[in-house]
Structure 1
Amino acid sequence: MKKIILPLSLLFQISSYAQVENEFVDFSKIKKVLKKDGLDEEARIKLEKEKEKKAQKVKEMQSKYNLPVRSEFWDFATELWLVKNAPVLKWDIKKPDYGVNEYFSKFLNKYGHFGVKFRVLYTESPNVTHMALPSSENQFTFLISVPFIRTMDLTKAEISLLMFEDYLRIKNEYFIKKIEDKSLMDFFGTNYYGKKLDKEILKKVLAKYDEVIWDKGFEVSEQYTVTKSMESYLRNDLELWNRYMDLLSKIQTLVKTNILYKGYNKIYPSPELQIKWLSPKKEIL
């Protein structure tokens, strides 16, 4: 068999042609692929943004159904109770200032209670003589009866002393503890989106507000703690201490002689006991 020998020049031509064939790339096809990939990526990013936008809208809508957490709930409940009882209390009608706001602010600062925010609502009802209502931390709502102020001829110092008692009751959470139960604790901070709001819990809270404010008030042990706290604050200020003792005597006389205030001892037991707790013990010889 004879070998076929090709000329060197022909081999070079064949090799060069094969190289060109192997290296040839169809750039028009690549451009189409790249363009398609770019459009797909752009579409994917756009779709993701749309999904995020929809999710945010749903989240914002659902957040409207968030119930207050414990620290925020008491402002909410107190406002509900005030609105419900506005026709009786008439706290929303403009009344004299009595100079209490400025005096009580200085009173609080004097005894180390700084940064306290409060509002005083004067009522036309003799049935709520004075009361602090639950609010957010370091914010307080005080009810003061104008008929009570007039009947007792109370000064701004005396009103402030009563408010300070009420302030201590709220700080000790005496009011809140009479209302909170497991169902309310479970209620705090929940979300009722897609569910029916359990209005019975709110009705129950308002009913307990009524019970504390109108009917049952505070326990003897709670009153004792508040009274002894007042003593620790005031004992070294002879002027305020004497005013406080005189105030308790005035209230004691009022509840014994004025039928409108016969229920006072039921809410705050009682001026007579307070005077006894604060009076020096007589030595038995």
Structure 2
Amino acid sequence: MTTLLEAADELYALTLAEFTPARDAMAKQLRTQDRPLADRIKTLRKPSTAAWVVNVLARREHEQVSQVLEVGAALREAQASLDGDELRALTRQRRQLTAALTQQARALASEEGLRVTSAVAEQVEATLTAAMVDESVGEAVRSGLLISALASTGVDDIEVGDHVAVPDAFGFTPTRREPAPSRPPELHVVPDPDEVEKKVAAAREDLAAADEELEAAGEAVDSAKGEVSDLEARTLQLQAEIDELRRRLGELETEQDEVDDALADARVVVEDAQAELSAARADRERADAALQRLLGS
């Protein structure tokens, strides 16, 4: 099964003119097999002209690009211990390498039928310089999946992930791009006797795909409506339960008031009975004392 990285590798090896039609056709072909993958392929961005030129360089001269990036890594390691004169010499060497590689990229693009303007060449050289200064940019350039040019001062970090087609681009080795033929083959247009039938068949396929999408959309609507109905019924049920609980709460509050009143009355009765009990005890004690006096006399 095709992966997003494999699809991107195939698409970004094409010319700028071929990219968008090929991407849309691939997404359409995969829609019935793997809809999520088709949707992701459809969002792949067409590379800028400078990014495409760098991609051609990475795919046509992958080994040479890797060697230049390895030189950049060695220079990065060495520059920490260099003095001012050596650093200036190092900078010149880096510029010579990137300038030479840019000229080679322009020549390769010309072979592919694209004339690289000075403005685009400056973006290409800035990207190659950034690749020698920053390791992550170098991995992005090496992948052949750039969608936009980069630039680096060597100080600030770059969000390299925003400049590559897919997250898996880092560490990826792209498929080699074969050079375009130096002379286009002669083409002879031959009428296709089955052209109408083929167009009808293609239209029927499009209609069938549209019918499938329409059916799926209708099923999604029906499912959503069913869920809404269930939730509405549940809402009515919960509201009825809430009303019943409120009614029951009112009854309990009334009963509590009645019990509180009865409790207050009962406490008064207890207090009165307690007073009578105390008085009766006092009367008994007086009677007992009087009896004891009579018995003692």
Larger radius of gyration: 2
The structure carrying a bigger strand percent of its residues is 1
The structure carrying a bigger helix percent of its residues is 2
**Which TM-score applies when normalising by structure 1?**
0.22
**Which TM-score applies when normalising by structure 2?**
0.21
